Amino acid sequence: MRATTSTIAQASRRATASRSAGRLSLPAQSASVGPSRCLHIGTSRSSTASSSLLAQQSSCTKSLAQPRFAIGIRGHATSSSTPIEEVEPIPAISEENTYDVVIIGGANAGLAFACALLSQPTIAKTTRILLLEGASLDRTRSWSGKGDWENRVSSLTAENVAWLDSIGVWKHIEQDRSCPVDEMVIWANPSESSTPTIHFPPLGRPMARMTENLNLQRALLRRIEEVGKGVVTIKENSKVAEMRLGEGGRWVGLRIGDAWLRGSLVVGADGPNSPVRHFSKIESYGHAYQTHAVVCTLNHFASSLYPNTTAFQRFLPTGPLAFLPLSGEASTMVWSTSPENAAALKRLAPEALVGMVNAGFTLPESTLMALVEKMLEADRQGVPLTSDQISSLIATLPSPPLSTDQPILPPNVTSIPAKSIASFPLRLTHADVYLGPRTALVGDAAHTIHPLAGQGLNMGLADVKSLSEVLERARALGGDLGSQTSLADYPRERYPLNHLMLSTTDKLHYIFRARGGLVNWIRGTGLDVINELGPIKKILMGGAGAGTLGVGGGKRTDEQREFGRANATDELPPIGGWPMTAAKGVEGWFALKGVMGMVGSVVKEGAKMGVGKAASLIAKK
Amino acid sequence: MHRPSLPSALRTARPALRSLGIRSSHPSTFFRSLSTTTPTSSSTPSSSTSSTFTTINESEISHFSRLSSQWWDENGEFGLLHRMNPTRIEYIRQKVAFAPSLSDGETKEPEWTFATRHSDSARESSRGTGAWLTGLRCLDVGCGGGLLSESLARLGGTVVGVDASESNIGIATTHASQDPFLSQKMEEGGLQFRHSAAERLRDAGEKFDVVCAMEVLEHVDEPGEFLKCLGEMVKPGGHLIISTISRTPLSQLLTLTLAEDVLRLVTPGTHTYRKFVKPSELRRYIYSSMGGFDTWYKNEDASDIREDEVGETRGIIYDPLKGAWKLWGGVEGSWWKEAGEGCNYMFHARKRV
């Protein structure tokens, strides 16, 4: 193997050199199109060659064929800005360092992709997978599942929870640290008199689960350790220094330090600034929202009335403010707001931030905006507001009377752990394509999204699920995993859906920020109408992650297949919908027809008898 | 108990054939008449065992040699073929991996019980996963750039790819040797590309578990002799799998008019209408001239009513919206199934142990 690789490398270098020389010294040949050039030679030879020249000729064809591929690859890999002559050849790579799939990035998407691949029978039986992570995974591995809450929390839709369960990951999740979201309240308060609200009531099963990223990552790691022995290799603290397409474009070489390894397919799960995307020369488009998100953990008292399983989101002119439950006494906050506001909020003392967050959820919009102005003013002077100042400001600022249609509000926040406060800028990006030369992008490497719908991680999980299924199909049919033919279905499945989600979220962001008489009225009426229409709400919830309820249903269990329900003693599910209505209508019509017929015949008989009797009476007379 | 052959009047009522001036549609007659009317045939069949005789057509070979550099361009001349490859392998998988094991003459299926009736689908879905060709010797006749051979090798098969074009073999060898996995397999002898005619392999006495000839039948002289040669190389219990194009107005429209002349997806002149073979002709020829049911298994589906036809054919059509080929469904013997075989189709037959 070592020998082959090196000879091919040499052949290609020769070919490259001869090509660059050939442009000058062989005008007749370079006049014809590149690819067909070597072929004309090949053909004329094969038509004249006798069979005794066979061996010679095949080696000749081989070396002649080489530039053709090199040209093709150069087309892809123009990314390597240095001229090919100056690049040192990739040394021979041993069988041990040769993998079928190399995943770059050991965060949610990368780890989930490894688990997804392990759940596919052919992939798990026939491939070698490598997961490269630039940092150490020790913090994830040793996360205790107790103590302080992490500030990076994600909402996992019911659909993705079901999928994680089916691939054997969910059982490793620390269940106490994953909070179901049963209800959702979304509101805005654009003017003093109106508070348009949507309240998604409980469905009987959680719409989503709030789970710390570390909790999910630890579960994914445990699953890999459980079933991935001999299939998935994890290399931590390995930063990829260089990526280059191998000779013939049949593999991608990766340099880590001084060592090279290679893979047939490289999957970029390496986040928004994806090096794999840069290597693949894939542009991405999008825009920065002039918005930063401030996140922190909120401590509050447990309500005696209801469990803390309701998510709240208030739309402010600067962006949404979300309250997401973590447990009875803790929740997490995402406050998307202007960069100055975010910086000022971060500079507040934790006690003062408590005051601002409570004000953020409860004050009328005009009062809140005035309070934020005061906060910015104090921040500019270098003396951030204290919690006492905030409470006195709230008492003194002019406050309109609260409108009568106030929504349910989240519990009063009592404290915020200082080290949980963080902020990050928000961007919308979408890669132009998901596939490069032997590369594929998943998760944040392919797209980043505004967090207002909580769909970033969910889109990433849907990506890895789809890609793993595509690769399984390709592998079971002997496909080359990195080839365009094998991968073509992945963008076909995911690109339109991701784009729809990205653009919807983007529009929602702008619609909910806008303030103005007409916009307020349209939005308010729209929200009220949606709130009143059950079916639309159900579809929205289905689309927003309730999964199993929306349109269509989940897979039935064996028991359900047996009895038509979960247990034989359960009541039969009610049958409804238009087919039932139609059936009832037809049934009713037949019943009516029958009754009318009976009544009619009785009347007819009676009439007949009456007439007959009358006739006989007359006849008697 | 073979059914007496149908009245010849019924058989000859085939408009497409009549339009070609071919009177009788008896398969052997068709295959013979084809060879005599082929202007490009340079060699005369002296005897099927002669080592000098091949069914290779020189002009076809030079045509494909001219195109050989484009074999691995997934968006080029052979782009449609690249997309067809997974679907062809799916057919092979259904026929080879799902076939009952014949090691002691009986199938190894677990006994059906009422309690395990739901696990049938799970068991079936696990068949044909992993390296399902492991231990099988496969031959890819007319391998071209090695599209099918590489896939078969990746699935675990011991693969020999032969092609009559030397430049094709060069391309296939180079391409496979650049793949990390396949280059190792080539060194171990699990994947070989040989510049040879199928007849030479047959004369050397080579036998295979799976013999594939994908899109070759319509390019050779003497398709009958070619089929006999393929059939002889199949081991007892092995599979013969062919894909080719039918001779119907539909195939005229799709493969010649549209793909070659109008859309130029394929170089004009790649196919010749006259050389296309109909599914029924193929099945009947193998019945009448290649040993019939003494040599080949009878089908186990509804097509077993055919007393004078061997093997199963299945249409394979291109879905331009999905950009993929799919195997045509339909009940055996129905007009729907036959309609799907109007253009490209697959053929499978299994040799008796």
| Range with lowest mean pLDDT among A177-181, A330-334, A506-510, B308-312 | A506-510
Q: Is B82 annotated as ligand-binding?
A: no
Nearest CB partner across the interface for A480, out of B66, B89, B150? B150
Q: Is residue A393 one of the residues assigned to a domain?
A: no
Is pLDDT above 90 for A48? no
Q: Average pLDDT of chain B?
A: 81
For residue B332, what pLDDT is reported? 83
The domain ranges of chain B are: 24-43+55-99+131-350
For residue A18, what pLDDT is reported? 39
Is pLDDT above 50 for B346? yes
Is pLDDT above 90 for B4? no
* Three-state secondary structure call for residue A286: strand
| Contact with chain B for residue A49, Cβ under 8 A | yes
For residue A29, what pLDDT is reported? 35
Query: How would residue A92 be classed by pLDDT, with cut points 50, 70 and 90?
Result: confident
For residue A578, what pLDDT is reported? 79
Taking an 8 Å cut-off on Cβ atoms, the answer to whether A478 and B178 are in contact is: no
For residue B157, what pLDDT is reported? 93
CA distance B53 to B225: 10
CB pairs under 8 A between A and B: 148
Query: How would residue A1 be classed by pLDDT, with cut points 50, 70 and 90?
Result: very low
For residue B209, what pLDDT is reported? 95
Give the residue from A54, A250, A265 with the most B CB atoms within 10 Å of its CB, the best one to mutate. A250
Name the residue of chain B whose CA is nearest to A492's CA: B322
Percentage of chain B with pLDDT > 70?
81
Q: Of the segments A133-137, A202-206, A453-457, A509-513, which one has the largest average pLDDT value?
A: A133-137
Model's pTM, two decimal places?
0.77
CA distance A121 to chain B (A): 7
Is pLDDT above 50 for B229? yes
| Contact with chain B for residue A408, Cβ under 8 A | no
For residue A491, what pLDDT is reported? 94
Is pLDDT above 50 for A46? no
B53 versus B239: which is more confidently predicted? B239
Q: Is residue A144 one of the residues assigned to a domain?
A: no
Q: Which residues pair with A415 in a beta bridge?
A: A299
Nearest CB partner across the interface for A125, out of B82, B129, B170? B129
Query: How would residue B343 be classed by pLDDT, with cut points 50, 70 and 90?
Result: very high
Is pLDDT above 80 for B232? yes
Q: What six digits make up the tokens of A619?
A: 């006849």
B232 versus A30: which is more confidently predicted? B232
Could you tell me if B139 and B233 are in contact, meaning their C-beta atoms sit under 8 angstroms apart? yes
Question: With contacts defined as CB-CB under 8 Å, which chain A residues touch B89?
Answer: 477-478
Name the residue of chain B whose CA is nearest to A61's CA: B170
Taking an 8 Å cut-off on Cβ atoms, the answer to whether B74 and A8 are in contact is: no
Query: How would residue A453 be classed by pLDDT, with cut points 50, 70 and 90?
Result: confident
Is pLDDT above 80 for A432? yes
| CA neighbor of B10 nearest in space, from B25, B27, B31 | B25
Q: Is B341 annotated as ligand-binding?
A: no
Query: How would residue A559 be classed by pLDDT, with cut points 50, 70 and 90?
Result: low
Q: Is B163 annotated as ligand-binding?
A: yes
| Range with lowest mean pLDDT among A40-49, A211-220, A347-356, B199-208 | A40-49
Is pLDDT above 50 for B308? yes
Mean pLDDT of A298-316: 87
Is pLDDT above 50 for A7? no
**Number of structural domains, chain A?**
1
B116 versus B36: which is more confidently predicted? B116
CA distance B104 to chain A (A): 27
Taking an 8 Å cut-off on Cβ atoms, the answer to whether B129 and A121 are in contact is: yes
Is pLDDT above 70 for B14? no
Q: What six digits make up the tokens of B81?
A: 């073929």
Q: Is B215 annotated as ligand-binding?
A: yes
Which residues, numbered 326 to 385 in chain A, qualify as contacts with chain B under a Cβ-Cβ cut-off of 8 Å?
none
Q: How many CB atoms lie within 10 A of CB A600?
A: 10
| Contact with chain A for residue B83, Cβ under 8 A | yes
Helices (H), A488-576: 489-513, 517-532, 534-541, 558-563
Q: Is residue A432 one of the residues assigned to a domain?
A: no
CA distance A122 to chain B (A): 4
Q: What six digits make up the tokens of A201?
A: 């009531």
Mean pLDDT of B127-132: 86
| Range with lowest mean pLDDT among A285-299, B135-149, B301-315 | B301-315
For residue A220, what pLDDT is reported? 96
CA distance A23 to chain B (A): 20
Nearest CB partner across the interface for B175, out of A64, A248, A489? A248
CA distance B326 to chain A (A): 14
| Range with lowest mean pLDDT among A59-63, A265-269, A592-596, B82-86 | A59-63
CA distance B213 to B207: 15
* Three-state secondary structure call for residue A145: coil
Q: Of the segments A22-36, A540-554, A593-607, B88-102, which one has the largest average pLDDT value?
A: A593-607
For residue A17, what pLDDT is reported? 39
Taking an 8 Å cut-off on Cβ atoms, the answer to whether A36 and B85 are in contact is: no
Taking an 8 Å cut-off on Cβ atoms, the answer to whether B170 and A62 are in contact is: yes
Is pLDDT above 50 for A409? yes
For residue A171, what pLDDT is reported? 93
Nearest CB partner across the interface for A250, out of B70, B74, B179? B179
Query: How would residue A203 be classed by pLDDT, with cut points 50, 70 and 90?
Result: confident
H or E stretch including B349?
Answer: strand B344-350
B129 versus A399: which is more confidently predicted? B129
Q: Is B175 annotated as ligand-binding?
A: no
Domain formed by B24-43+55-99+131-350, architecture? 3-Layer(aba) Sandwich (3.40)
Question: With contacts defined as CB-CB under 8 Å, which chain A residues touch B153?
Answer: 478
Query: How would residue A570 be classed by pLDDT, with cut points 50, 70 and 90?
Result: low
Could you tell me if A189 and A365 are in contact, meaning their C-beta atoms sit under 8 angstroms apart? yes
Q: Is residue A21 one of the residues assigned to a domain?
A: yes
Question: With contacts defined as CB-CB under 8 Å, which chain B residues touch A8?
Answer: 177-178
Is pLDDT above 50 for A288? yes
Name the residue of chain B whose CA is nearest to A34's CA: B69
For residue A16, what pLDDT is reported? 40
CA distance A368 to A359: 7
| Range with lowest mean pLDDT among A54-63, A329-338, A489-498, A574-583 | A54-63
A73 versus B73: which is more confidently predicted? B73
CA distance B323 to chain A (A): 9
Could you tell me if B56 and B174 are in contact, meaning their C-beta atoms sit under 8 angstroms apart? no
Q: Average pLDDT of chain A?
A: 80
- Strand segments (E) across A301-377: 310-316, 319-325, 330-337
For residue B25, what pLDDT is reported? 44
B101 versus B222: which is more confidently predicted? B222
User: DSSP secondary-structure letter at B350?
Assistant: E
| Range with lowest mean pLDDT among A233-247, A530-544, A585-599, B287-301 | A530-544
Q: pLDDT by residue (tens digit) across B53-71?
A: 777 888 887 887 777 778 8
For residue A531, what pLDDT is reported? 73
Query: How would residue A448 be classed by pLDDT, with cut points 50, 70 and 90?
Result: very high
Pairing of strands B312-319, A252-256: unpaired
Query: How would residue A498 be classed by pLDDT, with cut points 50, 70 and 90?
Result: very high
* Three-state secondary structure call for residue B147: helix
Q: Is residue A43 one of the residues assigned to a domain?
A: yes
- Residues 6 or more apart whose CB falls under 8 angstroms from that of B350 comprise B95, B99, B237, B238, B239, B240, B296, B297
Q: pLDDT by residue (tens digit) across B96-121?
A: 988 877 655 455 666 778 887 777 77
Query: How would residue B41 be classed by pLDDT, with cut points 50, 70 and 90?
Result: very low
Query: How would residue A537 be classed by pLDDT, with cut points 50, 70 and 90?
Result: low
Q: Is B329 annotated as ligand-binding?
A: no
Is pLDDT above 50 for A396? yes
Q: Is B219 annotated as ligand-binding?
A: yes
Taking an 8 Å cut-off on Cβ atoms, the answer to whether A8 and B118 are in contact is: no
| Range with lowest mean pLDDT among A100-104, B24-28, B169-173, B250-254 | B24-28
Query: How would residue B233 be classed by pLDDT, with cut points 50, 70 and 90?
Result: very high
For residue A539, what pLDDT is reported? 58
Nearest CB partner across the interface for B167, out of A36, A43, A477? A43
Is pLDDT above 90 for B205? yes
Name the residue of chain A whose CA is nearest to B131's CA: A126
Could you tell me if B328 and B335 are in contact, meaning their C-beta atoms sit under 8 angstroms apart? no
Could you tell me if A101 and A233 are in contact, meaning their C-beta atoms sit under 8 angstroms apart? no
Taking an 8 Å cut-off on Cβ atoms, the answer to whether A62 and B173 are in contact is: yes
| Contact with chain B for residue A412, Cβ under 8 A | no
How is A28-74 classified by DSSP, letter by letter?
Answer: HHHHS-HHHHHHHHHHHHHHH--GGGHHHHHHHHHHHHHHHHHHHHH
Taking an 8 Å cut-off on Cβ atoms, the answer to whether A250 and B180 are in contact is: yes
A548 versus A441: which is more confidently predicted? A441
Which range marks the domain in which residue A54 is found?
A: 2-86
For residue A488, what pLDDT is reported? 92
Mean pLDDT of A184-202: 81
Is pLDDT above 90 for B230? yes
Taking an 8 Å cut-off on Cβ atoms, the answer to whether B65 and A43 are in contact is: yes
